[in-house]
């Protein structure tokens, strides 16, 4: 099967698992009237995701080293998510900002996208 628990059965997705609303913002660089560069974040995509925290042992190992919280977001595929990278996009979830560390089009089937974010 290859799917995360409760997300799909065989090749069918469980729509009820995608219940957490997230927004993805894109960074654009603009120049002001005297040429200074400024980063501006604008909403790029909104949708619902299955959100999964790392297990306790992984989280505590990360917390002792970096004091970071890593979360995995699983979304239904959308063509806007195809060109995403980890430098120009970020996730807003429950008012917190997560920097994207990886983007995975699962098995290149264009069905689900897994994003890993660090708070």
What does the pLDDT read at residue 49?
Answer: 96
Q: From CA 77, how far away is CA 86, in angstroms rounded? A: 17
Superfamily of domain 20-118: Bacteriophage SPP1 head-tail adaptor protein (2.40.10.270)
pLDDT per residue as tens digits for the range 90-115: 999 999 999 999 999 999 999 999 99
pTM to 2 decimals?
0.76
Q: Which residues of the chain have pLDDT under 70?
A: 1-13, 15, 54-68
Longest Cα separation, the chain: 57
What does the pLDDT read at residue 83?
Answer: 87
What does the pLDDT read at residue 94?
Answer: 95
What does the pLDDT read at residue 101?
Answer: 93
Contact 20, 51 (CB under 8 A): yes
Domain-by-domain residue ranges, the chain?
20-118
Sign of CA dihedral 55, 113, 50, 80: positive
Sign of CA dihedral 89, 91, 96, 100: negative
């Amino acid at each position: 099967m290859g799917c995360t628990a409760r997300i799909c059965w065989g090749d069918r997705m469980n729509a009820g698992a995608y219940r957490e609303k997230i927004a993805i913002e894109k960074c654009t660089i603009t120049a002001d009237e005297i040429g200074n560069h400024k980063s501006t974040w604008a909403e790029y995509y909104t949708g619902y995701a299955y959100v999964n925290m790392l297990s306790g042992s992984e989280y505590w190992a990360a917390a002792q080293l970096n004091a970071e919280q890593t979360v995995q977001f699983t979304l239904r595929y959308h063509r806007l998510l195809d060109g995403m990278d980890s430098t120009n996009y970020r996730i807003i979830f429950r008012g917190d900002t997560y920097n994207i560390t990886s983007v995975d089009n699962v098995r290149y089937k264009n069905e689900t996208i897994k994003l890993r974010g660090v708070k």
